[in-house]
Amino acid sequence: MSSAIGQRHQMSERVHSFAPLLGQAPRVLILGSMPGRCSLDADRYYAHPRNAFWPIMGALLGFEPALEYPARCRALTAGGIALWDVMASCERRGSLDADIVAASIVANDIAGLLAAEPGIRVILFNGGKAEESFRRHVQPTLPAGLASVPCHRLPSTSPAHAGLSLAAKHALWREALAPYLPAIG
């Protein structure tokens, strides 16, 4: 084995996502790819201080993004939003989606979640890797009735996705959520 391959293998680790955040009657399911190192270490969705997820959701749903994490989660789910990741686990070096070893991806049971939560009317992907992974690992396994749920990719809220300003990301997320969450409209 070459030393480069051996170093890459040693630097990869298997990481696991969190349980879904669900409220009483979710209408929107937001799917990320896999939590980054900062989120995994904190055991919280979107824990990186420069990730725009909580500031965007706070602005759209009317809560302060600096609230304690449990209060933010309650505000999100009370607003009709469920949150999960496409991947249950994968091998990855570091935090970037680009470093995920494609052959190592194990998908979450999103079909089971959709069957258990029939009020979900749309799936929104937090970035391209979430959408790509869903289309490859989840969509082919969905029963016909669940495969008809509309899906839309939105710009990643990750600080690694710096191609759009916070205001531009906010506008796109608002546009996507408004038809499903009247309080936003």
Domain spans in the chain, listed from the N-terminal domain onward? 3-177
108 is catalytic: no
In this predicted structure, the answer to whether residue 12 has a pLDDT above a threshold of 90 is no
Q: Check residue 96 and give its pLDDT.
A: 82
Structure tokens at 97: 């989606």
Q: Is 161 exposed, middle or buried (0-12, 13-18, 19+ CB in 10 A)?
A: middle
3-177: CATH number: 3.40.470.10
Query: In the predicted model, what is the mean pLDDT of residues 92-120?
Result: 92
Predicted confidence at residue 164, as pLDDT, reads 87
Looking up tokens 């298997």, which residue turns up? 14
Mean per-residue pLDDT over the chain, rounded:
91
**pLDDT range class, residue 116, cuts 50, 70, 90:** very high
Which of 17, 33, 39, 51 is the catalytic position? Answer: 51
Statement: residue 1 has pLDDT above 70: no
Beta-strand relationship, 106-107 and 87-92: antiparallel
pLDDT at 8 over 50: no
